[in-house]
Amino acid sequence: MIDLRSDTVTKPSKAMLDAMYNAEVGDDVYGEDPSICELEQLIADMLGKQAAIFAPSGTQSNLLALMSHCDRGDEYIVGQQAHTYRYEAGGGAVLGSIQPQPLENLADGSIDLNQVIANIKEDDIHFAKTRLLCLENTQAGKALSLDYLSHAADLCQQYQLAHHLDGARIFNAATKLNVEAANIAQYFDSVSICLSKGLGAPVGSALCGSSELIDNARRYRKMLGGGMRQAGNLAAAGIYALNNNIERLADDHENAAYLAENLASIDEITVEYTKNQTNMVFVKLDADLWSGLTDYMKDKGILISGRYSLRLVTHLDISAKDIDYTINRFKEFFVDH
């Protein structure tokens, strides 16, 4: 199957499985798993932060950040389309008692910083206390520029807000911007990264930040049930991913660009692929064609998802040949419809 639904679908390679098999493990709740300690040190160093904590998912890693930055009754400002607001089952509100203040995402994935300023609440007993600005990079596959991030960081300093990045795909953003991930991370107090997306590990995320913040997050991770004991085999997959699967993200971006360019010649669909896109292509088509297309593709061995807007995601289990095959199946379908 050519699975274009998400970059979460990658399977561990033989070399990654070998690294997992050979990992040394210990009890991580006691801080004694050498592979987890190594992973936490590695990712903290890569992002230029003091410390990091391994978490079972990006959802939990983001929640650890929200809970570490905010108290009960505080507020965080976040994009309408942000994962932390829209796709984490309201965890910040439910489990952290933290109120979200969502704002529209602009076409390039950013949030208008003047809107952010306009939504910071005054110190008044009627209002929640605005504590945190939470951005996402990449947002829907779009890399936010360093210039924008730097302005957002200035704003946070001026208004004394903490600054968190959901950097599930920070390495895609860094690859696209041709910078180190640390150049992006420098503008944030905390950064959550996913090992289980384009980097190809089966499981795992990490939250990076100051030692104090990560110590706090460690208590919340225990509270949320994320203390995982001998999970070093999973950390070993993450270490392998960080050492081997970052440079090749450029191939995914090339494949996505090629896919977008070729699908654009089909009249019946609209391809959305902005110049800051990384490994995602969005395709709009008539609602009545959607289910026929999805079934047709599945029949040809291609999995796609999304309804009126399809999201096609490239990753390390998708080759250039798979992309050519996919383009041809799309063209074929629209010849018949």
Task: Provide long-range contacts, Cβ within 8 A and 24+ apart, for 92-99.
Answer: 92/63, 92/66, 92/67, 95/63, 95/67, 95/224, 96/63, 96/66, 96/67, 96/70, 96/72, 97/72, 97/73, 98/66, 98/67, 98/70, 98/72, 98/74, 99/73, 99/74, 99/75, 99/128
316 binds ligand PLP (CB under 6 A): no
The yes or no reply on residue 58 touching ligand PLP (CB under 6 A) is: yes
Phi-psi region of 274 (alpha: psi -120 to 50; beta: other; left: phi over 0): beta
The token pair at 282 is: 């969005």
Answer yes or no whether residue 81 interacts with ligand PLP by CB under 6 A. Answer: no
| β partners of residue 74 | 129
252 binds ligand PLP (CB under 6 A): no
Query: Which of the stretches 58-66, 73-81, 125-133, 276-284 binds ligand PLP when contact is defined by CB under 6 A?
Result: 58-66
Find the part of the chain contacting ligand PLP (CB under 6 A) among 64-72, 100-108, 116-124, 193-201: 193-201
Contact 182, 158 (CB under 8 A): no
Residue span binding ligand PLP (CB under 6 A) among the ranges 53-61, 209-217, 231-239, 274-282: 53-61
The answer to whether residue 142 forms part of the interface with ligand PLP (CB under 6 A) is no
Q: Is 288 helix (H, G, I), strand (E, B) or coil?
A: helix
> Does 314 contact ligand PLP by CB under 6 A?
no
The Cβ of residue 106 has, within 10 Å, a number of other Cβ atoms equal to 13
- Cβ contacts of 180-184, under 8 Å, gap ≥ 24: 180/46, 181/46, 181/47, 182/46, 182/47, 182/48, 183/146, 184/137, 184/146, 184/149
Measured distance CA(215)–CA(217) in Å, rounded: 5
Phi-psi region of 97 (alpha: psi -120 to 50; beta: other; left: phi over 0): left
Q: ω before 326 within 30° of 0 (cis)?
A: no
**Options 2, 16, 43, 59; binder of ligand PLP; rule CB under 6 A:** 59
Site string for ligand PLP, 255-294 (x = CB under 6 A): ----------------------------------------
Q: How far is the CB of 218 from ligand PLP (least distance, A)?
A: 19
Contact region for ligand PLP (CB under 6 A) — 40-48, 56-64, 153-161, 327-335? Answer: 56-64
Contact with ligand PLP (CB under 6 A) among 5, 13, 57, 146: 57
Return the range that interacts with ligand PLP (CB under 6 A); candidates 35-43, 191-199, 212-220, 229-237. 191-199
Size of the site for ligand PLP (CB under 6 A): 12
The residues near 63 (Cβ < 8 Å, ≥ 6 apart) are 88, 91, 92, 95, 96, 220, 224
Minimum Å distance from CB 257 to ligand PLP? Answer: 20
Interaction between residue 10 and ligand PLP (CB under 6 A): no
* Least separation in angstroms between CB 182 and ligand PLP: 19
CB closer to ligand PLP, 131 vs 164:
164
205 sits near ligand PLP (criterion: CB under 6 A): yes
Could you say which of 49, 69, 83, 176 contacts ligand PLP (CB under 6 A)?
83
Q: How far is the CB of 168 from ligand PLP (least distance, A)?
A: 3
- Token look-up 């360019």 returns 261
When binding is defined by CB under 6 A, the residue of 133, 194, 224, 237 that contacts ligand PLP is 194
Is 189 among the residues that bind ligand PLP (CB under 6 A)?
Answer: no
| Residue labelled with tokens 């109120």 | 99
Assigned token pair, 240: 């392998």
Pick from 166, 189, 272, 322 the residue near ligand PLP by CB under 6 A: 166
On whether the CB atoms of residues 28 and 172 are closer than 8 A, the answer is: no
The residue ranges that bind ligand PLP (CB under 6 A) are: 57-59, 62, 83, 136, 166, 168, 194, 196-197, 205
